[in-house]
A and B are shown apart, each in its own frame.
Chain A
């Protein structure tokens, strides 16, 4: 299995944001292994967690994602981040 990284995105919460993000990954042939999205306490914003490959393209993935108008902020985490691990039980039962 290739190495993974976790990206944490703060985005504008409105219809279309998800399409822009998924469209970007699809047309640039970036791998998206997992995606989680929920509105934040302030409903103007949503948080999106992405599980992606950590390879030589990751920097370009982040730069392109940052260009999306609805993406306000990106933080990069190591794959060991617990967000996807804690959800494991919902997917492997």
Chain B
């Protein structure tokens, strides 16, 4: 069978099980779009290439499978960069395929030529500039294998237009790329962990997204129950433990509760599971868990000892490790430690005002959660609304939570929520956003409406860049700089203008009833919720400080 390079690409993607691709056509990837017409793969046209990357992320995060985005050369490729860098920081398996000017024109400053290989290099797990059609046959499955293996991550493939047009005789298809088998823990390693847990008086689990990637959340919760070990969660590890689980202490770090901070100060054994000891989680790392021995279990060997020197480390599959430990250990109770944790949790819980007014962010997030129920995938953008959601949203299953953690990309939310809605249409895709973040990719409302997605956007509108305002208030003597854009946008009207349904709680006689009505309205819905610009996220650890030196609330 003789086919073109472009047909070969599409065929190989079909063989990978890809059913949806987000992207935008342009001069250098037109052959791929021509080949796409002959395929059952559904294409989702974006209004900015950055969103193609984030839609792919939304699909990948909710399914755990690799997802694909397409862009042309030059500005299309540079537009993709932010979303791919975001996938790298959060270890999301995305395969980005860009068109490039024809090979003979490479290096001539041709129209829409840019060094995509050079640009993608530092922000991907691996990347390619394909030099021949023969190479292409192996590059695509290999890209998927790399994206999915071990610690997942993005892979970028840049394909010159002449290679897309070149013909090739295919006799045999390569096997689709899959994740390679993970390293297994040895019995000596397992025994050592068992021993350290047995001799600990006050152990603490620190769970991260590595647990979700390993599909090991349930077993890890079981293990915690069996051994009566409380757990703190990293920002991306939220949803490993159900929010209301008695052993769950919630998020640690810059906006974690004081309970987690004290618990970590007091623990004598820290078990880091699928975590990378990020600075936003640990605070000043030299003062993190000062009394504790540290067990670090992670699939990425280079994370072990990178920031926190462990007492004992296991570079192996967290799932296999957890399952083995479940078998090896028997139930135990830590009455004193357990009681201490419960005391801390109660004493330092995040207080939701009893008035229940929706202008209070915690009341809003909790009431939205109550209305939408458990069958919802929850997204945020980046800012105060993101932290408020992380602090109090009642997550109850892994992969329910999707947010830009490592890179902290404002504009992530809307396209990522679109991706989840496309990949998991049975569930509502819920997005908490802010007036700062939403404007960065608001053009994708048009995309969401085009596909009539079950997408609800709750817009926490304080008419300012809230987290920046907060830092200027707390650490720059209240000198507010460039944070109030006098934002007078009528977001409900914008939503309506783009074909979605808009609500505004600002002029609602009964905000609760309007919120309920809005969240029960089919299709794409945006709900503008006015929030006071004086609301801040507390507790807060000043950047660079130890977690124990957190600010509990603003001094009056």
Which A positions have Cβ atoms within 8 angstroms of B?
Answer: 14-16, 19-20, 23, 27, 59-60, 63-64, 66-69
Contact = CB atoms under 8 A, between A and B. Distances in A.
A25 to B, nearest CB: 11
Given A14-B131, A16-B127, A69-B125, 19 more contacts: A15-B129, A16-B129, A19-B121, A20-B121, A20-B126, A23-B121, A23-B122, A27-B122, A59-B305, A60-B302, A60-B305, A60-B306, A63-B302, A64-B302, A66-B301, A67-B300, A67-B302, A68-B126, A69-B126
A57 to B, nearest CB: 10
Contacts of A19: 117-118, 121
A59 to B, nearest CB: 7
Nearest to A67: B302
Nearest to A24: B122
B382 interface: no
Contacts of A64: 302
B146 interface: yes
B116 to A, nearest CB: 12
Contacts of A59: 305
B128 interface: yes
The DSSP consensus for interface residues of chain B is: mixed
A88 B127 CA distance: 35
Contacts, number: 30
A64 B300 CA distance: 10
Given A23-B122, A27-B122, A69-B146, A16 B306 contact: no
Most buried by B among A16, A27, A59: A16
Contacts of B302: 60, 63-64, 66-67
The DSSP consensus for interface residues of chain A is: helix
Contacts of A14: 131
Nearest to B129: A16
A66 B146 CA distance: 14
Contacts of A20: 121, 126
Nearest to A19: B121
B364 to A, nearest CB: 40
B285 to A, nearest CB: 15
Contacts of B306: 60
A59 B128 CA distance: 27
A60 to B, nearest CB: 6
A54 B305 CA distance: 17
B377 to A, nearest CB: 31
Nearest to A59: B305
A60 B301 CA distance: 9
Contacts of B118: 19
B174 to A, nearest CB: 17
Interface in B342-356: none
Interface in B295-317: 300-302, 305-306
A16 B128 contact: yes
A59 B301 CA distance: 11
A67 B305 CA distance: 15
Closest 9 CB pairs of A and B: A63-B302, A69-B126, A23-B121, A27-B122, A64-B302, A23-B122, A63-B301, A67-B302, A19-B121
A16 B117 contact: yes
A60 B305 CA distance: 8
Contacts of B131: 14-15
Interface in B246-301: 300-301
Most buried by B among A15, A19, A59, A68: A19
A63 B313 CA distance: 15
Contacts of B117: 16, 19
Nearest to A57: B306
A69 B117 CA distance: 15
18 contacts: A14-B131, A15-B129, A16-B127, A19-B118, A19-B121, A20-B121, A20-B126, A23-B121, A23-B122, A27-B122, A63-B301, A63-B302, A64-B302, A66-B302, A67-B300, A67-B302, A69-B125, A69-B146
Most buried by B among A15, A59, A66, A67: A67
A73 B528 CA distance: 55
Nearest to B151: A67
Contacts of A27: 122
A16 B157 CA distance: 12
A16 B128 CA distance: 8
A54 B426 CA distance: 55
Nearest to A61: B302
Interface string B100-126: 000000000000000001100110011
A16 B135 CA distance: 14
Contacts of A16: 117, 127-129
A68 to B, nearest CB: 8
Contacts of B300: 67
Nearest to A14: B131
Contacts of B121: 19-20, 23
A63 B131 CA distance: 29
